[in-house]
Amino acid sequence: MKKILYITALSLVLFSCKESKTEEVEQKDNGLITVTSAQFQSSGMEIASPTEQDFDVTVKASGKIDVPPQNRAKVNTFMGGYVKSTTLLVGNKVTKGQALLTLQNTEFLDIQKDYMEVAEQLNFLKSEYDRQKTLYDEKITSQKNYLKAESDYKRAKAMHQSLRAKLVLLNINPKNVEKGNLTSTITIFSPITGDIVIMNANVGMYVAPSDVILEIVDTDHLHLELAVFEKDILNVKIGQKILFKVPEATKDVFNAEVHLVGKSIEGNDRTINIHGHLDDMIKQKLLTGMFVEAEIIIDSKKGLAVPSEAVLTENNKNFVLLLENEKNGYSFKKVSVTVGEKSEKFIEILPNTIINASSRILTKGVFDLAN
């Protein structure tokens, strides 16, 4: 008898639990999703009609953060040498004309020696040329002697100017060389103001003229370099606003403006280059080479919209939950919709035969019912 009572009690408990669980789960009959009033209230669900919202009409683009060619400098040397000293690292800021490093090589001495020899010869050859010219004018000497003196002088003068230009390129003062002050060390100076982004020099290493010793970027001139597809380019104009983000670094959305629009189609992707200007405050947060995703605002429009959280996406299709009735709870029908433009909080719903401005749609708690 006790065994029968125990089994009966256990059956009642199991039936009670099953009934309670059934009440907590949304009922799905005839394609409708139904929730009780209690569930609706406890889940914080809300129902509202689509409202008219302002939307930006945009063109999608992608690209990177970059600087103009004149604001990026690759530093090298006109003659090879060994790095004697440097104190700079990647990230250091330098100013135009600042000493970057020193190189040492005995070949620098050879050029200075040649320059001194030619400079001394030049004085003699100039004097001889002037003398022969005077004699020739007075018909005392032959034309041959005059022309030879002229040729020797001009050849030496050309050599003198060539060696002088090499000294200037090596940042060696020709006047010091003429005074006999020779040096085996040269200093390389910064051609622009900016930040060092590449440093390939170590003390003692040899650098050839073809080697990039370091690279400097002027980050004050950061800009956007974007690519827009051919089908969209006729809608892009100078002065339009750009919204962009750096997906690998932050979720923040930044502003820019179209400054230049390319005039030719590039590559197999058939894209056109767009140059965008950045606000000065934004430049401090960005680095050259960062990949960006952007939208160029080409127009604005009004459209019927619902909150972004009201739209379900399944298998690349979009749905909303349309209220069918409020008897004994709330019953919703999953309705397929076509979406248009998107903003930060709203999604445009293109009107159809089912959804219009008077439709009542679940706007909060949608994902609770979808899961």
The model's pLDDT over 106-118, given as tens digits with 9 standing for 90+, comes to: 999 999 999 999 9
Q: What is the pLDDT of residue 17?
A: 41
Q: What is the pLDDT of residue 30?
A: 60
Measured in residues, the chain has a length of 371
| Per CATH, domain 70-103+185-218 is 3.40.50.970 | no
| Per CATH, domain 59-69+219-300 is 3.20.20.70 | no
Q: Give the tens place of pLDDT for each residue, 149-170.
A: 888 889 999 999 999 999 999 9
For residue 369, pLDDT beyond 70: yes
Q: What is the pLDDT of residue 14?
A: 40
Measured at the CA of 142, the angle between CA 138 and CA 144, to 5 degrees, comes to 135
Give the whole-angstrom CA distance, residue 304 versus residue 339. 10
Quick one: 44 exposed, middle or buried, by C-beta within 10 A (0-12, 13-18, 19+)? exposed
Q: What is the pLDDT of residue 128?
A: 85
> For tokens 């930006």, what's the residue?
56
Q: Boundaries of CATH 2.40.420.20 in the chain? A: 25-54+302-370
Q: Give the tens place of pLDDT for each residue, 39-77.
A: 888 888 999 999 999 888 899 999 999 998 899 999 999
Q: What is the pLDDT of residue 16?
A: 43
When pLDDT is averaged across residues 196-218 and rounded to a whole number, the result is 93
Q: Boundaries of CATH 2.40.30.170 in the chain? A: 59-69+219-300
- Ramachandran quadrant class, 329 (left: phi over 0; alpha: psi -120 to 50; beta: rest): left
Q: What is the pLDDT of residue 370?
A: 66
Taking the CA atoms of 349, 350, 351 and 354 in sequence, report the sign of the dihedral they define: negative
Q: Boundaries of CATH 2.40.50.100 in the chain? A: 70-103+185-218
For residue 2, pLDDT beyond 90: no
| Per CATH, domain 25-54+302-370 is 2.60.15.10 | no
For residue 201, pLDDT beyond 70: yes
| Per CATH, domain 106-183 is 1.10.287 | yes
Calculate what percentage of the chain has a pLDDT beyond 90.
52
Average pLDDT of the chain?
86
Structural contact between residues 215 and 196, judged by C-beta atoms closer than 8 angstroms: yes
Structural contact between residues 276 and 67, judged by C-beta atoms closer than 8 angstroms: no
Q: Give pTM, 2 decimals.
A: 0.66
Q: How many CA atoms lie within 13 A of 132 on its CB side?
A: 18
3-state secondary structure of 149: helix
For residue 99, pLDDT beyond 50: yes
Q: Which residues have a Cβ under 8 Å from the Cβ of 288 and sit 6 or more positions away?
A: 65, 66, 67, 197, 217, 219, 222
Q: What is the pLDDT of residue 22?
A: 37
Structural contact between residues 215 and 71, judged by C-beta atoms closer than 8 angstroms: no
When pLDDT is averaged across residues 76-90 and rounded to a whole number, the result is 92
